[in-house]
Every structure is written in structure tokens, then in C-alpha cells.
Amino acid sequence: MNDFFRGRRLRSTPAMRALVRETSLRPQDLIMPYFVAESDDKKFRKPIGSMPGQFQLSLNELDKQVAKAVDNGLAACLLFGIPAAKDPVGSGAYAENGIVQQAIRMLKKRHGDKLLVIADTCLCEYTSHGHCGLLGQGNRAGQVLNDPSLELIARAALAQAQAGADIVAPSDMMDGRVAAIREALDANEFENLPIMSYAVKYASCFYGPFREAAESAPQSGDRKSYQMDPANAREALREAGADVLEQADILIVKPAGPYLDIIRQTRETFDVPIAAYQVSGEYSMIKAAGQNGWLNEDAAVLESLIGIKRAGSDMIISYFAEDLLARKLL
């Protein structure tokens, strides 16, 4: 008789492994990001070089693409806008007819309750300087101002709510923005509209490809005065705790793969739903390795996502979502 652990007993066949599998990925766990561009060309569909398979889309193209995805089982999407013009105060973010507001109206009209439309709330795609808040003048030149930005961010969230967004997702990392948004929403009869806060967002190089996709790279400096230092974990819990107090309904940890410990700690510390964002750079790395034949792409995608779920996230924002559903890989 052997007295060692026979872990292999429960790994003998696919059915046995399925029976004891602890974590699963379901279609409804996935949120697909889209980039919608304000364009006169109805057929506008511009490949994003650093993110093979992803595009900037006109409203019309977005409409077609999302319709297919919903047919394939997509339950939620996250919208980013690329406005025709930018200015220092990011007007496009809160204009009634801003590009994301148009996209929300279009998608909600077509899909109703079949598709959750989540709006990324931020100024960086709309500001000429590319920062997520207002830039200071005079003796505050070069600084990204916190409190004056809050009003604009809250206006953007309200415009998205008025257009019909199901959830608003502030990603700017200004202090106090969840409270500011909650107040603006509540004052306008949107007290039941959830806020999905990018509570724990690191100043990450893995957003590089996204900045090409959204044309939102800061024109000067970087985002380190508002996004978090990748070396910090305890601070993540302070950020998350602050947002929970301000009534965030869902917390996002971002990026996902290099921050699995943060997902786990956030999961164990708070009882709100946790989302993880597998960001553009995580997507691009797997794509590039797959295209070079260095990795089995499908297997790498599924393993990266199951790892993010296992770490404790309830849902995952991933650029792979649409393709996984289309090819029935879940």
C-alpha cells in the first residue's frame, strides 16, 4: 500500500477533470470593449496595428459587428469613443451628441435588455492634451487638476446615463469621482444606475496598444500622478475601500494578468462584485506570440482568462471576448 497522495486519480479522463473543475468561464462573464470613431464615412473600419483583430469602427460598422456578437451570445460591451475633434476640456465626453452617447442610443435601441452597454467614463480620449483630467495653468502648469475635473467627469457620466447606458465605468483615477458621479446621477433620477469603478488602476505600460487604439496617449508627461504605482498592493485596498464608501457597485482591477494577487486580495477584502480588465498589452502579447507560432493562441487565451477568474474576479473585460464566443470556444 502506498501512502502518498494520488492526485492523478481525478485527472484520468476529460469527464473526470470536468467533474472536479473548480473554476469556469461562462459567456456572461465576458465584457467586450469596442472603439467607436466619429466619422463621416459610414464604412469606416480602421485596423489597430498593435492589436491585430481589433478596429476603430464607425457607428454603422459598430452596429453590424455588435449585432453579430450578440447573436453569438455576447451579453455586455464596454464603449470607448474617438471624437472627430478634441479640446483642452474634453467637451466630446459630455456632449449630448458625443460619439459614445450616439453609440449607446443606437445599441440600446437595437438590443434592449439583451445587451448591457457599459460606458467608459473618462476625459483622455477627448482632451487635446490626452490627460484624464483638466490640465492646470500658471503656477499649476503641467499638473492634472483633481477637483475641477470632477464636475466634468460627472457630466460625462450623466450624459452617458441620459443616452441610456446600463452602467458607467469611470477610469480616470481622480480622487472622489465615484462620489461626484453618484451625486450627479442621483440628482437626475438615475439612483438605480450602477457605477463600475476602475478602483484599482495601475500606471501600466500594458495600456500602450490601447493608446494607439483610442488615440489617447498623453501629449506631455505620464499618468503616474493619478494611476497607481505597480509596486503597491496595500494601496490598492485603500483605493478600493474609498470607492466602496463612495458607493461603487462593482470594482475593476486593471491590468489583470500581472496583478492576480491584487484581484485575490480585493476579492477577499470586499463583498462587491470584482471585474478584471485584461488590457490591450495583455491581448497584444498573446496575439503576437500566437501569430509567430510561439504559443498556441487559443490555449493561451483560455488559460490567461481562467487564471484571472481563479484569482477571484467575477467578470472579465477582454478583447478576446467576441472571438471566443464567435468560435464557441467557451
3-state secondary structure of 116: strand
Q: Which of 279, 305, 315, 325 binds ligand PBG (CB under 6 A)?
A: 279
- Of the listed pieces 12-20, 58-66, 105-113, 118-126, which binds ligand PBG according to CB under 6 A? 118-126
Which CB atom, from 39 or from 50, has the smaller least distance to ligand PBG?
A: 50
- How big is the CA angle at 178 (ends 317 and 268), to the nearest 5 degrees? 60
DSSP string, 132-168: SSEEP-GGGTT-EESHHHHHHHHHHHHHHHHHT-SEE
Q: Point out the residue whose Cβ comes nearest to ligand PBG.
A: 210
Binding mask 21-60 for ligand PBG (x = CB under 6 A): ----------------------------------------
| Partners of 81 in the β-ladder | 36
| Those residues with Cβ within 8 angstroms of residue 239's Cβ, 6 or more apart along the chain or in another chain | 199, 200, 228
Whether 201 sits among the annotated catalytic residues: the reply is yes
**Residue with grid cell 491590468, as numbered in its chain:** 255
Within 13 A of 315's CA, how many CA atoms are on the CB side? 20
Is 32:77 a contact under the CB 8 Å cutoff?
yes
280 is a site residue for ligand PBG (CB under 6 A): yes
Which CB atom, from 57 or from 122, has the smaller least distance to ligand PBG?
A: 122
Which CB atom, from 175 or from 269, has the smaller least distance to ligand PBG?
A: 175
Catalytic one of 46, 114, 201, 224: 201
Catalytic one of 64, 114, 254, 328: 254
| Those residues with Cβ within 8 angstroms of residue 91's Cβ, 6 or more apart along the chain or in another chain | 98, 126
Which CB atom, from 62 or from 78, has the smaller least distance to ligand PBG?
A: 78
Residues forming the site for ligand PBG (CB under 6 A): 120, 122, 124, 132, 171-172, 207, 210-211, 223, 279-280
Active site residues: 201, 254
